[in-house]
Structure 1
């Protein structure tokens, strides 16, 4: 809009767009949103990080659905809130040769 930051709709949208990454940082045990930090220690070529990535993607999709239901006034049929991970996914321990 032409009013930019003075427009209440812009401010509301900015707050909503900030909600997901703030939640994600709090919800994952590494308190990060950066892939480099989240996958540190994993053998990327071996695909060890995929389990963590799938879990994070699912958590974020659930949180987006929760936010949309709240903002659109639509009933959320999933009664359980999206809480996040209790522990970080850790890379497998490499055995010394």
Structure 2
């Protein structure tokens, strides 16, 4: 149930995408892996302590298998870049980018719910883990596309191809 593969976009930082997957493979939850990789490639300015905010979104919000941690991690990245600091600022850029990310994820994988995305897999099995790896890589590409196309934001580090 991996869904179709995202077409390769020549503007995607493959290093950021690979780092997201590598951090997941190293034991971070999907939400943590995405936040750490984007922090490094987009200079989000997060300390390791602050990156802990992503932990509870893993495994579908506290292991409840609800909203996919990849999606919540991606939304955190968008919010850090386009979110507002005061009530007077517009939430529109962040809301529109997050909605576009949600729509892209559901279009690609047919659901945003962790439980639905992994329903045919034994939780914690190698197949489940491989499925989540695909989601992490796909989400990293989706976030980068939305950052570039909607928000005009590129990685701050040169990305290897």
TM-score of the pair, normalised by structure 2 = 0.38
Q: Shift in Å at residue 25 of structure 1?
A: 0.3
3-state secondary structure, aligned to 1:48: helix
Greater fraction helix: 2
3-state secondary structure, aligned to 2:122: coil
| Structure 1 stretches of 4+ moved >4 Å | none
For 1:49, the equivalent position in structure 2 comes to 128
The answer for unaligned runs of 5 or more in structure 1 is 75-97
Of the candidates 62, 84, 92, which is equivalent to residue 11 of structure 1? 92
Q: Supply the RMSD in Å over aligned alpha carbons.
A: 2.5
For 1:59, the equivalent position in structure 2 comes to 138
Give the number of equivalent residue pairs: 71
Of the candidates 72, 84, 88, which is equivalent to residue 152 of structure 2? 72
Aligned equivalents of 2:126 and 2:115: distance in 1? 14
Aligned equivalents of 2:112 and 2:122: distance in 1? 19
Q: Shift in Å at residue 73 of structure 1?
A: 5.6
The answer for unaligned runs of 5 or more in structure 2 is 1-85, 155-161
TM-score of the pair, normalised by structure 1 = 0.60
